[in-house]
Amino acid sequence: MNSRLNPTASMDLKTWITARLETVEVALDQWVSFDASSDLRHRAPADLMAAMRYSVLDGGKRLRPLLVLAAYETVRAVLKDKPLNLDERGEPAACGAIDALEAGQIADDTALRAACAVELIHAYSLVHDDMPCMDNDVLRRGKPTVHVKFGEASALLAGDALQALAFELLTPDGTLIEPCQQARLCRLLARAAGCTGMAGGQAIDLASVGLRLTQSQLQEMHRLKTGALLQASVMMGTACVKTTPQINAGLQTYGAAVGLAFQVVDDILDVVADSSTLGKTAGKDADHDKPTYVSLMGLDGARAYAQSLHDQALQALADTGLANTRILQGLADMVVQRSN
List the CATH number of the domain containing 57. Answer: 1.10.600.10
Looking at residues 214-238, what average pLDDT do you find? 96
Grade residue 6 by pLDDT with cuts at 50, 70 and 90: low
- Phi, psi (deg, nearest 5) at residue 143: -145, 165
Instruction: Determine, yes or no, domain membership for 3.
Output: no
313-334 pLDDT tens trace: 999 999 999 989 999 999 999 9
Instruction: Determine, yes or no, domain membership for 171.
Output: yes
Instruction: Determine, yes or no, domain membership for 128.
Output: yes
pLDDT at 89 exceeding the cut of 80: no
pLDDT for residue 100: 35
pLDDT for residue 280: 65
How far apart (Å, rounded) are the C-alpha atoms in residues 183 and 171? 8
The total domain count for the chain is: 1
Grade residue 242 by pLDDT with cuts at 50, 70 and 90: confident
pLDDT at 84 exceeding the cut of 80: no
pLDDT for residue 207: 93
110-156 pLDDT tens trace: 999 999 999 999 999 999 999 999 989 998 888 999 999 999 999 99
Q: Where are the alpha helices (DSSP H) in 170-214?
A: 179-193, 198-207
Instruction: Determine, yes or no, domain membership for 6.
Output: no
Looking at residues 82-98, what average pLDDT do you find? 39
Per DSSP (E only), the strands in 162-257 are: none
Grade residue 87 by pLDDT with cuts at 50, 70 and 90: very low
| More confident: 148 or 209 | 148
Instruction: Determine, yes or no, domain membership for 1.
Output: no
Looking at residues 219-246, what average pLDDT do you find? 95
pLDDT for residue 255: 98
pLDDT at 281 exceeding the cut of 80: no
What percentage of residues in the chain have a pLDDT greater than 90?
67
Per DSSP (E only), the strands in the chain are: 139-140, 143-144
pLDDT at 35 exceeding the cut of 80: no
Grade residue 8 by pLDDT with cuts at 50, 70 and 90: low
Instruction: Determine, yes or no, domain membership for 195.
Output: yes
pLDDT for residue 37: 44
How far apart (Å, rounded) are the C-alpha atoms in residues 130 and 202? 12
pLDDT for residue 102: 40
Per the prediction, the chain carries an average pLDDT of: 86
Range of the domain at 105: 11-337
Grade residue 262 by pLDDT with cuts at 50, 70 and 90: very high
What percentage of residues in the chain have a pLDDT greater than 70?
82
Among 108-122, 191-205, 263-277, 300-314, which stretch is predicted with the lowest mean pLDDT? 263-277
Instruction: Determine, yes or no, domain membership for 98.
Output: yes
The vertex-53 CA angle with 51 and 59, nearest 5°, equals 115
How far apart (Å, rounded) are the C-alpha atoms in residues 338 and 340? 6
pLDDT for residue 122: 97
143-144 and 139-140 as β-strands: parallel, antiparallel, unpaired? antiparallel
What does DSSP assign to residue 142?
T
Looking at residues 229-250, what average pLDDT do you find? 95
pLDDT for residue 77: 84
pLDDT at 166 exceeding the cut of 60: yes
Instruction: Determine, yes or no, domain membership for 4.
Output: no
pLDDT at 202 exceeding the cut of 60: yes
Amino acid occupying residue 36: A
Predicted TM-score (pTM) above 0.85 = yes
